Structure 1
């Protein structure tokens, strides 16, 4: 006797996770064993559950623990954007490959944890202990059952990755308030307190400074200010668009 089949239809935004042969149509005919949960079946095709939103079986809302029946058509939607979180603004922790994104998130004032010496278990422990959203491009990491909350970062360029994260979560931004090196909260600093740390040209040209109490790094609007200002402006625009979509 042949095993019953069902149809899995993946939303366009989830097809990047599918094998190349399935991406165009986004629909798979699946032999069903009668015992596997829908969540297990979805992840078996490379789609992490943290990226999945609404699930419909023959038009009825179901959960990832649902055990589908042969002949059913299951619609797998992506997470609705902007995604609701238990708290705002979100706190993040990033995997080792997203260091440039971490600096950008800190630039716009988001609490962003990053270390380049943690393995997967260490990242999950950090995310779970401090209730941080784990951002990664590692699908297998998002499929770990112990992880409380994670999100896949789309884009190859750090600027595109930043736009993706802001579009997904629409967080409140407070630019220029965090240390891009260590994530500490910056404090205003008198020039007299930091001038011994500055080069002669900087001492002559600039008068307004902030300093990180955690690592001691000093900040001022310098030669790269124009590029960073543009990045902050783009981030503010991205959040405004995402917030408008929420309404």
Structure 2
């Protein structure tokens, strides 16, 4: 079988066997294979890739691999201008909306806390996740690399961390979300948007202690859940401030 020389960069190495990480290596392939098939045959979802260089020239996923090609694969770039190179997507997705799979419910709640539109269903299958992600232009968040290998998905993010807090910090750092926060504007329960509501309109729904001590309230326009700045608010504010701490210190 013919061979090519491959080199994966930065976090793409996390998907490879230890012996193949951070170095060039030879790899046998089937004739007429596309570079997308070649990349995913090594366990790297195509949604994690932004630039592919073959013999120094930028190509897209449909490129037919040739014997002795020298192929370099780079991850998604969010902090530098690579427009002189061919991007595998038409443009960066900066108006970010997310779709979290069934195992990332806590991450979805955290993203909503920061003000991001993030859908989450714990009772839907992979086909529906893919459909909603594609139809609504949402970044699909998952720890299932096979899910990200669906051909129609162009925006997805593999979450490496297993603990929800670390998952959030990983995503914030990778997609540089810190400057895009709009906290306390979405319902953490249903993803609906919140708006200020006058106390007399909801007073009969408030616990006695809350009614006596608080005057400012917000209500979700979807599920009707009511929020106020109690002790839980202060805890969540401190949590948001803590996200500036590097991931290695969490």
- Give the TM-score band, short-chain normalised: 0.7 to 0.9
Q: CA RMSD in A?
A: 2.2
Match of 1:158 in 2: 164
Deviation at 1:87, TM superposition (A): 5.3
For these two proteins, the number of residue pairs brought into alignment is 234
Shift of 1:17: 1.0
Residue by residue, what CA displacement relative to the aligned partner does 1:137-191 show, whole Å, maximum 9, x if unpaired? 1111110012242222232222222223233334522111111101111111222
Q: Structure 1: how far apart are the matches of 2:115 and 2:230?
A: 18
Give 1:231's aligned residue. Answer: 239
Residue in 2 aligned with 1:214?
Answer: 222
1:133 is aligned to 2:139:
yes
- Is the contact between residue 47 and residue 153 of structure 2 (CA under 8 Å) also seen in structure 1? no
Distance 2:196 2:212 in 1: 19
Question: Which residue among 178, 181, 196 is the counterpart of 1:173?
Answer: 181
In structure 2, the gaps of 5 or more residues are: 81-88, 246-250
TM-score in terms of structure 2 length:
0.84
1:185 equivalent to 2:196? Answer no
Cα separation, 1, equivalents of 2:45 and 2:214: 48
Aligned residue number for residue 58 of structure 1: 55
2:109 paired with 1:103: yes
Aligned match of 2:69 in 68, 72, 75? 72
| Aligned counterparts of 1:217 and 1:233: Cα–Cα separation in 2 | 25
2:95 is the counterpart of 1:89: yes
Contact 1:12-1:26 within 8 A present in 2 as well:
no
> 5+ residue gaps in structure 1?
239-247
CA distance in 2, matches of 1:167, 1:227: 22
The alignment's TM-score, normalised by the length of structure 1, stands at: 0.85
Q: Structure 1 residues 116-125 or 167-176, which shifts more?
A: 167-176
